[in-house]
Amino acid sequence: MNAAPPFDKIALIGFGLIGGSIARAARVQGLAKQIVATAHSAKTRARVSELGIVDAVVETNAEAVADADLVILCIPVGACGPVAQEIAGHLKPGAIVSDVGSVKGAVVRDMALHLPRAAHFVPAHPVAGTEHSGPDSGFAELFINRWCILTPPEGTDPDAVEKLRGFWAALGARVEIMTPDHHDLVLAITSHLPHLIAYTIVGTADELEGVTQSEVLKFSAGGFRDFTRIAASDPIMWRDVFLTNKDAVLEMLGTFNEDLSKLTRAIRRGDGEALFEHFARTRAIRRGIVEIGQDSAAPDFGRPHAQLGKKAE
């Protein structure tokens, strides 16, 4: 006999890549008797109804959270504070309230301000994603073998933290707990700065005179293509990330600029030894990422290649 689902009702506020993936995975894993969703626009709500992944789609955030024992905000970071304020008076006592925001310090501050004591606030960030967004972009396997970082404020009920840890583990994620500030510093270098660099490079290439647009596209496989994938990420989400994780990003950007200056100097001086030493060190980091199973060792990220005499699949 199957065990009873750990939650009676899960409410998802926001149904894009992350909300949609949680819904699909929670359904496959039977984690709730009922999953209810809502989104900002009537268009997205209509699409979520059509998809038939959740048990009910409701019009308002307040309606969604009524009687829910797990509420997850899957919305842009900048919207979390106002939505927490909106739902605060409608939460069931004892409900776990969480989010999936890519920044934790600002979100925790903005949400905690409004949430009632009777709710258990356990912020979360699944470190998993793609450059796609919207209700059709989610998939049940998104979180498998990816990290989900929980940043519960001091004094949070340990049972609520364990329950959310179990939820994310059931979605396939590996769960780690840290403080919001530490999270923001780590993610500034592993995620936020790489996105900023990608946005910069793709923007620079776009503005280059002397290199025509068509050449940039035509020869994009030489490294540029991988930056364009990252730079295609949702503009609202990333605007909010840089507005809310300003201090940590600026700190990392300072270090990055110093390192870039060192490499610039090495190139200017023709210092091959410095360049080789640097590139050998970074190559080892890539190997380490593959060794711990966070990426594929397949060449070119596993992209299919055409073979002579055969078409690429």
Footprint of ligand NAP (CB under 6 A): 13-19, 39-41, 44, 61, 74-77, 79, 83, 100-102, 125-126, 129, 133-134, 234, 237
| Cα–Cα separations (whole angstroms), residue 54 to 34, 50, 65, 163 | 8, 10, 14, 21
- Give the shortest CB-117-to-ligand NAP separation in angstroms: 24
Q: Which is nearer to ligand NAP, 32 or 83 (CB)?
A: 83
- Give the shortest CB-275-to-ligand NAP separation in angstroms: 32
- Give the shortest CB-262-to-ligand NAP separation in angstroms: 31
Q: Which is nearer to ligand NAP, 32 or 77 (CB)?
A: 77
- Give the shortest CB-20-to-ligand NAP separation in angstroms: 7
Q: Which is nearer to ligand NAP, 40 or 109 (CB)?
A: 40
Q: Which is nearer to ligand NAP, 33 or 246 (CB)?
A: 246
- Give the shortest CB-255-to-ligand NAP separation in angstroms: 23
Torsion sign over Cα 15, 18, 21, 27: negative
Residue 87 burial by Cβ neighbours in a 10 Å radius (0-12, 13-18, 19+)? buried
- Asked whether 313 and 304 are in contact (CB, 8 A), the reply is yes
What span, in angstroms and rounded, lies between the C-alpha atoms of 10 and 65? 8
Q: Which is nearer to ligand NAP, 7 or 191 (CB)?
A: 191
Q: How many CB atoms lie within 10 A of CB 58?
A: 17
- Asked whether 37 and 19 are in contact (CB, 8 A), the reply is yes
Q: How many CB atoms lie within 10 A of CB 154?
A: 5
Cβ-based neighbours of 116, under 8 Å, separated by 6 or more = 88, 89, 91, 93
Q: Which is nearer to ligand NAP, 40 or 182 (CB)?
A: 40
- Give the shortest CB-210-to-ligand NAP separation in angstroms: 34
Q: Which is nearer to ligand NAP, 236 or 266 (CB)?
A: 236
- Give the shortest CB-176-to-ligand NAP separation in angstroms: 15
